Chains A and B, each alone.
Chain A
Amino acid sequence: MAKIRFIEHNGKQHEVDASNGMSVMNAAIDNLVPGIDADCGGECSCATCHVIVDEKWMKVVGQPSDQEESMLDMNPERDKNSRLSCQIKVRDELDGLVVRLPQFQI
C-alpha cells in the first residue's frame, strides 16, 4: 500500500491510496484524478499518462526503460523527471510519492 499525491498543473492536489502491484496510472484513473488520459491502456505506447516525479522521489522511482524513453522523447513538455505513470508499479517504498501532472497530455 502507498499513499500517492497527484498535483494538477493548476496546483490542485489529490491524495489517493494505491495497492501494491497496480500502476500509478491506474491509481489515478480509479480515483478519477483528472489530467491522465492513458489512451493505450497501460502499454507504454502513447505517453498520455505522463507525470513529472518530485525530485526527492526520483531515486526510489527510478529511470525509464528504453521503450518508455522513446515515447517520452517525443514530448515537447519533457522534463528530466518525466515518467509514464503506467510504468511505475506501486510498492511500499513509494508511500508518500508526489507526482505533478503536465499542463497537457499528448
Chain B
Amino acid sequence: MSEAVDIRTSNDASSVPLDKIEIANPDRFRDNTIWPYFERLRKEDPVHYTAESVHGPFWSITTFEDIMFVDTHHDLFSSEGGITIDDEDVEFELPMFIAMDPPKHDLQRKTVSGVVAPPNLAKMESTIRERASLILDSLPKNETFNWVDKVSIELTTQMLATLFDFPWEDRRKLTYWSDLITADETSGMYGSEDERRAELLKCLEYFTVLWNQRVNTTGGSDLISMLAHGEATRNMPPMEYLGNLILLIVGGNDTTRNSISGGVIALNQNPDQYDKLRKDPSLIPNMVSEIIRWQTPLAHMRRIATQDVELRGKKIRKGDKVVMWYVSGNRDETAIPNPDAFIIDRPKARQHLSFGFGIHRCMGNRLAEMQLRVVWEEILKRFHTVELVGEPVRVRSNFVKGYSDVPVRVHAR
C-alpha cells in the first residue's frame, strides 16, 4: 500500500535506453510508477529531448534549477497558445490569460487577481471555516467513504461557487466542467470531442446569463463582475470569456482538491508525521506547503521557445515545445534534501515549484494555502485519524496529478 513499494516495482527505468523513455505516459502517472524515470533523467539527461510521441516532439526540463530558469524567462519561453503538453484544439480555441504573454497577460490577470489577494481572503476565512466545519460534521460515522467526493470536491466547489457568486444549488456543475476540461478520452466522461465541445458551450451559455445580470449592476466583488467591468476584459469575445472561466474553474478546483486528498494519503503513509501533527497543530501552515510540494497537483507546464536557447549544452530551437516537469523538480535532491520524504516541519518548505515562478506564478496560491490550513485545523479538532483504508485511485493524466477515490474512515478524537 505504501508509495515506496509502488516506486520500486514494475518498471524498467534503469535499463530502458534514454530515447525510449516515455516520460509523459499517463499510465505511469495513474500507476504511480513515473518516479524512477524522472530520477534517471535528472541524473543522466536533465534536459531531455523526446523526438517522437503522441504529443509530438518535446523537451523535458527536470531539475529544480533549470525549471526556475525556464519559468522566469518568459521572453525566451512563451506561454502563447497553451500551457499543457498537448497542443490546443485549433478548431476550438479558448484564449485564457495563463496562455498569453505580456502585455495582454498582465492586464487580464490584474483585472481578477484582487479577488484572491490576501486582503480579500482575510474576509473570507470565517466563511471557509464555517463551510469546512459543516462538511466535516456531516461525514458518515463507522463506514468507509470516498474522501475525494465528500470533502475535497465539496469544499473546493463551495469555495469556487463563492468566488463566482454562482447559484448555490447548481454548484456541482462547476466540478463537472472542471473535470470535463481535464478528462481524457478514456475517462468515460464524454463520447466524442463534439460532445465535449457542446457541453463546454453550455458552460459558456450558463455563464453568459450571469455576465448579463452583472454587467448591468455595479459593486459586485465576484469574479464574473470583475471580468464584466474590468477594462482589459469587458470586451472579450465569448470564447475568451469561456477560456478565462475555465482557467479560473480548473485553477481553483482540481489543484486544491487533490492537495486536500494528497494530505490524507501522505499522513497515512507517514504515521510518525501524523503523530507529530497531533502533538503540535501549529505545524499546520508549514505542513500545507509540504503537502503542496509532495503532491504537486499540476505535474507540468509547457512553453514554446521564442528563439534558439542553449541549456546544459542542449540546443533548444526556436519553436520547440518545452515541458517543465514541476513534479520532478520538486523531487530534485540537489535542491531539496531528502525530497521523497514527507516531513511536515521541513525547513524552507515554501521553496517548492508547485505554484510555478515568474509572471505566471499561481494567482490563487494564498487562497489554496488558506483552504488547506483551515481544513486541517478543523480536521484536527474533530478526528484523531482520517484513516486510509484502501488503495487510492489516481487519475490517468500527465497534467492533473490527482485522485478519483480515496477510501477512508474517520475516527473521532
Contact = CB atoms under 8 A, between A and B. Distances in A.
Q: Do these two chains interact? A: yes
Contacts, number: 55
A70 B355 CA distance: 17
A43 B365 CA distance: 18
Q: Range of interface residues on chain B? A: 20 to 34
Given A70-B102, A74-B106, A43 B117 contact: no
A45 B70 CA distance: 11
Q: Range of interface residues on chain A? A: 20 to 34
Contacts of B109: 74
Nearest to B72: A45
Nearest to B118: A104
Contact of B351 (A40, A74, A105, A106): A40
B357 A46 contact: yes
Nearest to A29: B348
Nearest to A70: B359
A86 interface: no
Interface string B88-119: 00000000000000100010011001100111
Contacts of A76: 113-114, 117, 119
Main secondary structure of the interface of A (DSSP, over half): loop
Interface string B354-369: 0101110100011000
A103 B359 contact: no
A43 B348 CA distance: 15
B357 A74 contact: no
Contact of A104 (B113, B119, B357): B119
Interface of A: 37-41, 43-48, 67, 70-71, 73-74, 76-77, 103-106
Across the A-B interface, give the 9 residue pairs with the lowest CB-CB distance, nearest first. A104-B118, A45-B357, A45-B72, A39-B350, A76-B117, A41-B351, A45-B358, A76-B114, A40-B357
